[in-house]
Amino acid sequence: MELAVVTAEEIWVLDFKTDHFAEQELEAKVRLYRPQLSLCARAIARIYGRPVTRRWLHFFAVGRTVELDAD
């Protein structure tokens, strides 16, 4: 996780991914990285004592940001 926005009520997290792949592989990459971001979100939520309400993966290779549902 490269960015966390911490407010009084919630946290948002964003993870940048720099691996190279084709657009048609995007869904597979989201599935690959989802557990990693979920783990980071749980850890930061415990540290700050508030929920992570928004989480994103940004893929530089295809210039796309994908918002993930909460666990």
- Rounded to 5 degrees, φ, ψ at 62 are -115, 5
**Residue 57 CB coordination number (10 Å):** 23
Site of tokens 């048609």: 24
What distance in Å separates the CA atoms of residue 15 and residue 62, rounded to the nearest whole number?
A: 15
What distance in Å separates the CA atoms of residue 22 and residue 16, rounded to the nearest whole number?
A: 16
pLDDT at 59 over 80: yes
pLDDT of 8-56, one tens digit each?
999 999 999 999 999 999 999 999 999 999 999 999 999 999 999 999 9
